[in-house]
Structure 1
Amino acid sequence: MSDVFERLKSAAQEDWDAYVNHMFVFRMGIGALPQAAFQRYLVQDYLFLIQFARANALAIYKSRTLADMRRAKAALSAILDVELNLHIRLSERWGLSSGDLEQAREEPATTAYTRFVLDCGASGDLLDLHTALAPCVIGYGEIGARLADSLGPAHLAEHPYREWIEEYAGPAYQEVAAAARLHLNALAERALTERRFGELAGLFGEACRLEADFWQMSLTI
């Protein structure tokens, strides 16, 4: 079977491009993203990750094999022990504690995307859930790697958003993204039919649109 993630991207190319090439990403890449927009993003993404941790906990419950359970546990650990800590470190520079982040109000774009993913998991199976998660989990790896490559080591060293870019371009997160892609393929081998592919492409496209709305929220609040 061909790479399912690439097939989903092709089926939802317009939505994918609007997400990964959003003005938020472009401005971050050239170092022109307003600090206030990045701060808003960090706060909302912290709340976002809490809900994504719940989605991976749901994946453990929905799993039918120990291998799937261990995969979901690893993804849950990556959020709770790595990604959330990055947000705390960055936010502390502006005087925001982890308590401040947890008590912040979820913006509608945050609620819309995270509850969409949780609903995909609650009403569907693991393939539905991981299709909805893929634009975020794998997409952030692609965005981080692209930004790092375009900047190069010299420019990245002085970049205002260096730590964020390095986190998602770095080997640890790239391994997470690669594992997510392989797991999506494994799930598809078990459960994907051509009739079902259209439904999954719809979920993937909607997740990309919600990701783009999330970037836009950070620019316009």
Structure 2
Amino acid sequence: MMAPDYGKTFGLWRAGAAEPWHDYMNHAFVEGLRDGSLPRASFLHYLIQDYVFLVHFSRAWSLALVKAETLAEMKVCAGMVDALVNQEMGLHVKTCAREGIDEAALYNATEAAENLAYTRYVMDAGLQGDFLDMMAALAPCVMGYGEIGVRLAAEKAADTPYAEWIATYADPEYQSVCSTVGEMIDSAVARRIGDLSSSPRALQLQDRFTRTTQLEISFWQMGMNV
């Protein structure tokens, strides 16, 4: 099936990271969500670590808000912080609560090495770089989950126990978030450097995006290593 369109810049970054992007989209963890074969212990381990990840991801989007140059950019970044803190974390809390894991245990969970590597890389991208560095580091998670959600919604097994997770990221509301972030990134690139394809900054930003995609692959693998 055709990959969803989340803007010109994202399309260029995804094409520039073709091999790791494929591995991210089609990891064994993702296929286990699709057909229901993923062990429940692996899913819960992932959910707990992803909750910790979202705490730091929210901080990163807050830093992006500080780095923003326009009101439109500020609104998108603020909206992302709100969605992460007040909505997406709710999926993890609800699912884990059914398994006897409360929110305090989620928040205080020991952070896996793969989680540390990923979240601190994203924060470092923001502290060392500018708004575009942050967007290149944040985009693989936001848009990657959107792309995975769309594919799995179309291909999932009828009896997969992970239908709720899939539906969260296939939902039109989440897809709208991906499109909004993609449009904002396109505008941010045009405002700061013009045509990304001819900019000397292009390779730096592509490297940010590719490296973060590789860290996403490691995060899936972490979920499998239980």
The alignment status of 1:116 with 2:117, answered yes or no, reads no
Deviation at 1:149, TM superposition (A): 1.0
User: Whose helix fraction is larger, Structure 1's or Structure 2's?
Assistant: 1
- Hey, what does 1:206 align to over in structure 2? 211
Say whether residues 1:51 and 2:51 are aligned partners: no
- Tell me the equivalent position of 1:187: 188
SS state of the match for residue 51, structure 2? helix
1:102 paired residue among 100, 107, 110: 107
CA distance in 2, matches of 1:122, 1:92: 35
After superposition, residues 1-221 of structure 1 pair within 5 angstroms as 3-151=8-156, 155=158, 158-192=159-193, 193=196, 194-221=199-226
- How far apart are residue 191 of structure 1 and its match? 2.2
Q: Distance in 2 between matches of 1:181 and 1:70?
A: 14
Runs of 4+ off more than 4 Å: none
Distance 1:110 1:62 in 2: 24
Structure 1-normalised TM-score? 0.95
Aligned residues: 216
Decide whether the 8 Å contact of 2:65 with 2:77 is kept in 1: yes
Q: Quick one: distance in 2 between partners of 1:56 and 1:203?
A: 16
Residue pair 2:33, 2:160 contacting (<8 A) in 1 also = no
Q: What is the TM-score normalised by the length of structure 2?
A: 0.93
Matched-pair identity in %: 40
Separation in structure 2 between the aligned mates of residue 60 and residue 195 of structure 1, nearest angstrom: 25
Counterpart residue type for residue 119 of structure 1: D
What runs of 5+ residues in structure 2 fail to find an aligned partner?
1-6
In 1, the alpha carbon distance for the partners of 2:183 and 2:203 equals 20
What secondary structure, in the 3-state scheme, does the structure 2 residue paired with 1:190 have?
A: helix
C-alpha separation in 1, matches of 2:68 and 2:14: 25
How far does residue 125 in structure 1 lie from its aligned partner after superposition?
1.1
Deviation at 1:8, TM superposition (A): 0.7
For residues 169-199 of structure 1, the C-alpha deviation after alignment (integer angstroms, 9 at most, x for no partner) is 0011111111111111111112234211111
